[in-house]
Structure 1
Amino acid sequence: MFHRPTRAGALCMTATLTILAACSTSDLDWDLRGRPGGLSTAEAARAVSAPRPRADDRGIISYPTYQVAVARQGETVASLSSRLGLDATQVASYNALSPQNPLRAGEVVVLPQRVAAAPAMTPAPVMTAPGAASPGGIDVTAIATSALDRAGPATAPVAAAPAPAPVQSAATEPARHRVSRGETAYSIARSYNVSPKALADWNGLGPDLAIREGQYLMIPTASAPPPTVPANVTAVTVPGAGSPTPTPPSAAKPLPAESTTPASKPAGQPASPDMGAQRTQASASRLGFPVQGKIIRGYVKKKNDGIDISAAVGTPVAAAADGTVAAITQDTDQVPILVIRHPDNLLTVYANIDGIKVTKGASVKRGQPIAVVRAADPPFVHFEVRKGFESVDPMPYLQ
């Protein structure tokens, strides 16, 4: 990302969606993760992660150096700590929570100290969806299996004491990552080369993948070690080293010599008219560029529903045409997004901006400064044109 993401909360887009005729978030890429240098999870998606180990009857997963506990329905940090014989203040502080914070079934908290094996009364169903910050989904298959296990023979008078958490091997112990300010689940997954889905499954993150500063996340382990290179296969080297460079086909035979004469203008032909000087208001482009600069990324529908224009930090961003400010909102990284409505159901979207100079509902004129370019690496303006709620290529409108 061009700026460090600071929060991965739910998008506050109610007003915007109403204005944009119930536009779906799949059509309008408010995250702008497809922008140049932005987050790409393609490589992480290709990394296959092992499923998270199942918890024991108390909801504990044990590793050689730490343990985590899976919360039960209706528990708080305080009640979970009490059930496991731990100090609620320590557990809450260790997980960047408060003792009174409610936990949904399936949420995972990291224990500040190990819990010894101890019998307990008939345990509640253990949810298998992990989650260090926000609740995850419920594995119905696992619930059914654990329910059958608990049922036992019809004549059993007393439920068996729960088994302690089996300690996973050191080879399968996942690394722990403590969330720093500005990190998101996407950026953390990318840095460890795992998929965001695997990270969410292991830690029970919600649909918005929300995390909090100071939270511990378990990093999914690989499902299998990477394949080894056979002994008879030569190791890959850097380009140009260890192997000869093949001769390109074009170099096998020289091109024939050619003698050409430059074209010349016939005598008496009048000079070409200056069409620019004769340009009328009607022939001018319908929209103006929000900034003057090089287009560093073009329009690709569903992948980059606009164009990215390079510009220096602080450069004024201008309205592309006369219209009304329809919405001012933010993406998941709290980067402002501004939408202007124009005649004929046309919308223009401006992102990666800062210092917004207009308010929602205000009328703007073509060329009027509405914001400035936000600091990024490299700095740029993301510009979209939408016909109704469908994105269209901005270039025909700008040329």
Structure 2
Amino acid sequence: MTPSRTKTIRLRAALVGTSLLALAACEPSGNFDLDLRSFGQGGGLDTTAAAEQAVQARPAPDARGIIAYPGYQVAVARRGDTVDSVAARIGVPVGELASHNAIAPGTLLRDGEVLALPRRVAEPSLATGARPVGAGIDVTTIASGAIDRASPAPGGTSGTGVAAGASTIGSTEPIRHRVMRGETAYSVARLYNVNVRALADWNGLGSDLAVREGQMLLIPVAATGTGATDVVTAPGQGSPTPTPPSAARPLPDEKTAAAAEPVKTPPAPDLGAQTTAATPKSRLGMPVQGKIIRTYQKKKNEGIDIAAGAGTAVAAAGDGTVAAITKDTDQVPILVVRHDGNLLTVYANIDDIAVAKGAKVKRGQSIAKVRNGDPAFLHFEVRQGFDSVDPMPYLQ
């Protein structure tokens, strides 16, 4: 390398370094804002919380690539798909699909790229290649979403580009954001306080995270559980430090006793068989009679799963009002009943609902039937307000 060439490279490097320092000086913190974190709100935006926020996985589409939410549907492209091939597969005119997504007909799509549908097509079902009932369906999330939709969130507001009514939709339906001129994946992620990588994964963005004006993005749904938090005590406020043994002081005599005989653990009782709908002292009645195959575990299983044959009548656990009736993306119905004392009961994995939203129901009244599955079961939750509680104390 010639001396003049070396000098030129060093000069360019110095100019780049000077430019970065000049940009850094414009930031209140004095740090270079690599992805324009202060864009839009005078330096008040920070992606730290978004980077730490866990999100749910995007639901799996059916064989056509359709994901159906209560308010809209989207199509997920496969490797080698174009706008034309997706339109042909789902039965929507290519021009209509392309115009709705601000993309030209014939454009090659990325594997996993999401296209918003201008109107609903046939709902996902077993005939369209949707997952069978019980195949990885998170009934806890489904039921929680139904509860969220039972009453609109007070004071909810929609951000830029949010579809109308999105603020009142439960956790099973993501907010949609239409990209405006000048927006980037980073600015959209900060707007909703989500990780930009999660945004990219949900929408099938490329490695460059490029978005186009008019593109519809799904905003990832935050995970319902939270991780454990480390507890840190102030200096001098922790557990007392034990005094170490000293060789100058003999250890005290230790008197040991023979261990007691081991106690045999009795078999787990069939709680469903012990509690009946007619139990007079219980606050709630069993919605179906059967063995409890999955017990309540906070943040893992927010209710109980009760084995029952397909077609078994599901009874209302108590007097109340039907607060919500909805379906998940696989069209599995969920029903929520509101009782006195701000108590809610949730019934999932059901079929043939016999009541309507707003209807008054009585304890023991048949409200639905257990859906067919392997195994067939009813998922039942009790919630005090929106917080899940163990159903068993209410049923015994």
Name the TM tier (shorter chain): 0.3 to 0.5
Normalising by structure 1, report the TM-score.
0.40
Structure with the bigger percentage of helix = 2
When normalised by structure 2's length, the TM-score is 0.40
Structure of higher RCO (CA pairs closer than 8 Å, 6+ residues apart) = 1
